[in-house]
Structure 1
Amino acid sequence: MLREFNNVDILTLTIMGCLLLVALSKLLFAKRFNEFAYLLFNSRYSSLYIREQRFLDVFEGLLFSNLVLNLGLLLFIYLSYIGQNDVSQLSIFKYSFLIGLFLILKVLFERLLSSVLDIEPIIDKYLFQTISFRNFIGLLLLPINAFLIYTLKPNKISFFILVGFLFLILIFGLFLFIKNNLNAFKKSLFYFILYLCALEIAPYVVLYKMITTN
């Protein structure tokens, strides 16, 4: 199992790197980080910072880097658990790169599609909410991954519980978005449902298959 590995240097360095990214985001953007920490409990963060949304954002970039590193680490832990012990710890960075590239291309394609469907205003808000909740999941994954590496012996039940918990957070974010934008959905509900089915479910299945078959 994962805790039996003799060399945990790369795992430790990855955890430390994630801690550094989170610390930098808090140090450089203290007020924004404090608002972000309460993302699940109120919509203040979204209402305050959606107006400042831009393609290149240092705060979001730091948290996004933390997210993809933690997702790569979690995937490595899972593959190690199911018996792929020949997977190198350096694969963490390969998984992180593929996940990060996938998420970036996905956002670019989503913006293009929203322009084609003429639903840019609602999709811009949705993307900001989705990116924020993903980055929040990255914060949660940091202590969870550390716990799985150094304390808890991973098992199938713990992975199912963890994935279910993360999925519920994303569903909660979607619920809040719909709740706060009911009026906008009156004109574009069909397109938004089509958008969700095409770009928020199937791509993740494809990504998982691509990574695990390589």
Structure 2
Amino acid sequence: MDTIIRDFPYQNWITIIFVVCLISLAVAKSFYYQQFVDFINLRGADRYISNRTRGSFFFEPLQLVLLIIQCTGISLLIFTAYCIYYEVEFRDNIKVFGLVLLGYSLFEVFKFLVERFISYALRFYNRIQPFLYKRLNLKNALGLFALCCSLVFAYHQDINHQIVYIILSSIVFIYFIYQLWLLRLYRDDFIRFPFYFILYFCTLEIAPYFILYKFIANG
């Protein structure tokens, strides 16, 4: 009982993050219901993009909320997995979560800006918007899933390491398979712009995540 009372305050900040994210998502859903339906339907992006006349979907309120949840969820999952793997207390490593969140957020923003620059430079942005939208929706969904898993890990820090590996591997596997499906779906566009495909898949997908993995592994 004493252990539960002693540890709860340090796990409680994770619960607060979880609740704030869910409330933010619920509020955004109430104001942007149709866009939320498109988010749930990972394949339903073409109709949404075709109805847009200007601007970027990335800067819409619902997408910004989902992006924040994605960054928070993925960062929190990495943090909880780190604490479980090295058998350290959450309370002693809150700064680690802050660094992971900052690093992952900057990584995603930088990657997004590079993608936009390349697609605009090659005059390919309008054609690639559905691809980017579907990929972002999946990452947001995986971020929400990661947020839920992090809450479970926070209250079961003695959880089997194999379960943590399975969760992390499943997220990476789903993202990889979905990427292949998107590449197959939009293969005609990529064939017309092979230079963008090389820059995108090799430079913007494989290299950044490999660097991020090495940074986390060596950190």
1:112-123 mapped onto 2 (5 Å cutoff)? 112-123=117-128
1:182-193 mapped onto 2 (5 Å cutoff)? 182-189=187-194, 191-193=196-198
Alignment of 1:139 onto 2:144: yes
Contact residue 70 and residue 142 of structure 1 kept, 8 A: yes
Gaps of 5+ in 2: none
Q: What TM-score, normalized by structure 1, do the two folds share?
A: 0.82
Shift of 1:124: 3.2
Cα 1:60/1:9, change in 2 over 3 Å: same
Identity of aligned residues (%): 25
- In structure 1, the partner of 2:163 is 158
- In structure 1, the partner of 2:29 is 26
Gaps of 5+ in 1: none
Greater per-residue helix proportion: 2
Alpha-carbon displacement from aligned partner over 1:9-41 (angstroms, at most 9, x marks no partner): 2112121122122222222212221232132xx
Alignment of 1:130 onto 2:129: no
Q: Distance in 1 between matches of 2:190 and 2:57?
A: 23
Q: Distance in 1 between matches of 2:120 and 2:32?
A: 31
Count of matched residue positions in the alignment of Structure 1 and Structure 2: 208
Shift of 1:69: 0.9
Cα 1:209/1:153, change in 2 over 3 Å: same
Cα 1:10/1:208, change in 2 over 3 Å: farther
User: Could you say what the CA RMSD is over the residues aligned between the two structures, in angstroms?
Assistant: 2.7
Q: Distance in 1 between matches of 2:146 and 2:75?
A: 11
Contact residue 73 and residue 143 of structure 2 kept, 8 A: yes
Alignment of 1:64 onto 2:63: no
Alpha-carbon displacement from aligned partner over 1:53-107 (angstroms, at most 9, x marks no partner): 4442111100011111111211111111122626422432332222112101111
